[in-house]
Amino acid sequence: MSDEKQDLHAAFPRPLILIVDDDRVVHSIFARALASFPGTIIHAYDGEQALGIGREARPDLLIIDALLPKIDGRIVALTLKMQRPSSFMRVAIMSALYKGARYRNEALQEFMANVFLEKPVSPARLWEVIENLIHISRPATTSSPSTHAMPVTIETGQERGAM
């Protein structure tokens, strides 16, 4: 592995979550739900971005939509899980289109996901996945939001204006 990739991996406060969806509304909902997350959240909008970021930043958790522009999200998940050093990564594949046991089993068995999520994903379910897969508990709510550290949130450049 090159020093440049090691530096990129080390540059982000951990834990790191990569959220990939071509729907900006999903990103907005997840960003609000994870406002108290104590690490880094990177947002990507297509499979090509996700694959590049996943290889270089090696997130602790990849939350990815099954159907994405450029490269299918399930293929991105499988590719990253089969390559070192990203093979340790936990993966949640989500879909609004593919629902039911057939697609859940496919995601878990064929695409090496740890969890399959049917959209819409509630904030409570999102935090449950985070707690189960990377062992980060949702901070207790208080009357003062300033008592929580804000996550480091990184927006990728493409698809910023898309809805």
What is the rounded distance in angstroms from the CA atom of residue 22 to the CA atom of residue 35? 20
Asked whether the predicted pLDDT for residue 144 surpasses 60, the reply is: no
Name the band, by pLDDT with cuts 50, 70 and 90, for residue 132. very high
Q: Quick check: 140 pLDDT over 50?
A: yes
CB-neighbour burial class of residue 86 (10 A; exposed 0-12, middle 13-18, buried 19+): buried
pLDDT at position 157: 64
Look at the domain 3-136+149-155 and name its fold.
Rossmann fold (3.40.50)
pLDDT of residue 105: 96
Looking at residues 61-73, what average pLDDT do you find? 98
Cβ atoms of 108 and 90 closer than 8 Å: no
Share of the chain above pLDDT 90, in %: 74
Q: pLDDT tens digit string along 22-31? A: 999 999 999 9
Residue 42 confidence (pLDDT) above 50: yes
Query: pTM for this structure?
Result: 0.86
pLDDT computed for residue 6 by the predictor: 54
Confidence of residue 12 (pLDDT cuts 50, 70, 90): confident
Mean residue pLDDT of the chain comes to 87
Question: What pLDDT, in 10s, does the model give residues 90-114?
Answer: 999 999 999 999 999 999 999 999 9
Cross-strand bridge partners of residue 19: 43, 63
3-state SS, residue 150: coil
